[in-house]
């Protein structure tokens, strides 16, 4: 894989905005596969819908890619996802730590995108009511 194409994709992620969502077609194949802890499916429309939903659910979402491993057919990106919660984004800053495993076609477009992050630790444990139970369960399990 051409590392310049991965660099361009990383720049796209790190500058992602609601206005730039149409740009996924520049980096993703039309029938690209996508999976994260909450979504799974094929196609640019699904991928754009997932990211549109992100902008509607949290304030000031942004990715920071910390590391990348690139080979001839794919890449792994280690990232932090920052966002704010609360009415009008006035809540506290939050972060989710995760990784994306990407595979590319001959043109350098993403055909397979799988996100890995721990929804229990990174999301549920931070929620007021559910978080209490998640933390108690983790304590009982010895984690």
State how far the Cα of 90 lies from the Cα of 118, in Å rounded to an integer.
25
Name the β-bridge partners of 81: 63, 96
Edge-to-edge strands, sheet with 93-104: 40-42, 28-35, 110-116, 93-104, 74-84, 59-70
Architecture of domain 3-117: Roll (3.10)
Tell me the pLDDT tens digit for each residue of 59-112: 899 999 999 999 988 999 999 999 887 655 566 788 889 999 999 999 999 999
Cα(143)–Cα(128) distance, rounded to whole angstroms?
20
Q: How confident is the model at residue 135 (pLDDT cuts 50, 70, 90)?
A: very low
The pTM (predicted TM-score) of the whole model is 0.81
Phi, psi of 122 (to 5 degrees): -85, -20
- Domain layout of the chain by residue ranges: 3-117
């Amino acid at each position: 894989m051409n590392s310049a194409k991965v660099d361009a994709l990383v720049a796209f992620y790190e500058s992602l905005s609601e206005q730039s969502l149409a740009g996924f077609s520049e980096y993703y194949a039309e029938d690209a596969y996508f999976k994260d802890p909450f979504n799974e499916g094929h196609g640019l429309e699904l991928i754009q819908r997932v990211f549109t939903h992100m902008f509607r659910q949290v304030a000031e979402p942004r990715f920071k890619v910390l590391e990348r491993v690139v080979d001839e057919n794919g890449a792994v990106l280690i990232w932090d996802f920052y966002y704010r919660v609360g009415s009008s984004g006035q809540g506290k800053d939050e972060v989710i730590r995760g990784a994306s495993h990407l595979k590319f076609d001959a043109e350098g477009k993403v055909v397979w995108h799988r996100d890995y992050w721990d929804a229990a630790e990174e999301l549920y444990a931070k929620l007021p009511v559910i978080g209490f139970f998640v933390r108690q369960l983790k304590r009982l399990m010895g984690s």
